[in-house]
A and B are shown apart, each in its own frame.
Chain A
Amino acid sequence: MATAVPGRERILIADGDPLARRFVGALLANNGYEVHLAEDGDSVLRSAVSLKPRLLVIDLVLPGKDGFEVLHALKGEPATARLPVLILSVKDREEDVVKALSLGAEDYVSRPFSTRELLARIRKILERTG
């Protein structure tokens, strides 16, 4: 979706829902981020290594490897272990949130979401992990 832009934070977005993926992508691109999209678990793992994004925004429901498996794989791999991950998911059960955070996610936002809140959380994570 994007080419590298110097000075802009690079964010990888992975969502199994095409509309949600495009919507979040457009939202972040319009707010000055360099956005890359992934549609399944395997492509997230590949892009996380090749693109070296500053942040991964990922849904738990993905074709192939689901969000938990991706998170587990990323945290177990030295090259991606420090990549901050924000979960943006329709799943909002307490056990999903706890599981994602205990697997190493930085933050959890459930859908439907407030765009302003999502942007604020992303800014905060980037500041914290910068």
Chain B
Amino acid sequence: MRLLMVRVVEGVGGFLLLLTVAIVINKALREMGERLDRRRRALLEPLVFEYLGAATSRPLRDVLPEPPSRRDRRLLERILLESARLVKGSTQERITAAFEGQGAVREAIRALESARWWKRADAAEKLGLMRSKAAVEPLVQRMNDPEPEVRIRAARALGLIRGRTSIRPLVGALADPSRWSAIRVAEILISVGSEAVDELLAAFDTLPQNGRVSALDVLGRIRGLRALGLMKSCLLDPHPDIRARAAHGLGLIGDPGTTPDLVAALQDQEWPVRAMAAKSLGRLGDPSAILPLREAMKDRRWWVRYNSGEALRHMGNAGLEALTDMLSSDDPYARHMAVAQLEEGRVIDQFVAELTSSDSPTRAAAIRFIDKVTAAARIDERTRQAATTAQEGVRQALSHILRAPAPPGGGGVR
């Protein structure tokens, strides 16, 4: 029994010793490899930079003193991939040419077929940085990969490569939310920018409803002026989601010429469309929208009233005057929203501060204004100010106004 114990201890000891030796050797080899990589990189990097900065079309291999070894090819690929994020234009094209000349594109395309998903994902990402048109078709195929990470990296790569053939499958992917996160694809298309507009317009009618909603969102965020006609016609679409997204998109594009279309959308039977139209009118800032926005502040839906009031607040003095006028509206909900927006715009604070002005007309105007706010039955904030504001004059003036009975017509918020 004792002998057996000794044998076991010896065996375990021997195993541990072997393991330690293996770890030490492995570490030494790795460090040696890293040192060699650093030395080779220090030699190769200036040559690559010289190639990238050159005005001639000399290929990378002509800059290198000898045909690259396997290690050097790996290092060249790493230097080129890292440099790819620094530059654009003709230097970027030279990076692509270098990848193609070194066979790195071919290798990465082969890796797209790997049985291991992380190798496919890595290859897709590299191909995006390499920006070779030769990779478009294989990447399009990877958009049907069973692994979501591979699909999204392939989509991102196509977005980086650009060109019609790359963008078309991305637009198609907007239509397939069961397999794609529409938001991520939309972000990729937005990063592509104006190049994506024509493809989105061409494919729009072929997309299902959810795809069209995403496409309108992308077109708005790209601010593609060529999409104005489509957006305006979508304001009349039978689907309220499409109408609402078109109204939103028109605000993002920001062409004041679309004000009449958005004013018409304030009458839409669906409140999300009316709310988006109001928001967009605020972005356009066209004064001709002030009157319709005042009316929209009486809408039966809170979001429409809020967006209309906010839009007026963003429309400069004319908008603030309209909000002040709305304090006397016959509609209690519009009055409440006007108070809320004037409060948000710090207009009320400004008048409160003027309650103690030495200039009588200014003081009288401030009293009239606060009277109107009080009559609009939104006195809670003023009551707080009357109790807590630092200036005694303001406290007294506010307390005096608040003691006066409010005229009838107030009500709760819908």
Q: Which residues of A contact B (CB under 8 A)?
A: 19-20, 22-23, 26-27, 30-31, 111-117
Contact = CB atoms under 8 A, between A and B. Distances in A.
Contact of B49 (A23, A111, A112, A117): A23
B83 A115 contact: no
Given A112-B92, A117-B89, 10 more contacts: A23-B49, A26-B46, A26-B50, A27-B49, A27-B53, A30-B49, A30-B50, A30-B54, A115-B53, A116-B91
A125 to B, nearest CB: 19
A115 B51 CA distance: 12
Which applies to chain A's interface (DSSP): helix, strand, loop or mixed?
helix
Contact of B86 (A20, A30, A116, A117): A20
Interface of B: 45-46, 49-50, 52-54, 82-83, 85-92
Nearest to B89: A114
A23 B45 CA distance: 9
Contact of A22 (B45, B90, B91): B45
Nearest to B82: A19
A75 B92 CA distance: 35
Contacts of B53: 26-27, 30-31, 115
Task: Tell me whether chain B's interface is mostly helix, strand or loop, or mixed.
Answer: helix
Contacts of B54: 30
B45 A115 contact: no
A112 B87 contact: yes
B191 to A, nearest CB: 13
Contacts of B52: 23, 27, 115
A30 B52 CA distance: 11
A112 B90 contact: no
Given A19-B82, A23-B83, A115 B89 contact: yes
B90 A116 contact: yes
A112 B46 contact: no
A1 to B, nearest CB: 11
Given A19-B83, A23-B83, A30-B53, A116 B89 contact: yes
A31 B49 CA distance: 12
Nearest to A110: B88
29 contacts: A19-B83, A19-B86, A23-B52, A26-B46, A26-B50, A26-B53, A27-B52, A30-B49, A30-B50, A31-B53, A111-B86, A112-B85, A112-B86, A112-B87, A112-B92, A113-B86, A113-B88, A114-B87, A114-B88, A114-B89, A114-B90, A114-B91, A115-B52, A115-B87, A115-B89, A116-B89, A116-B90, A116-B91, A117-B89
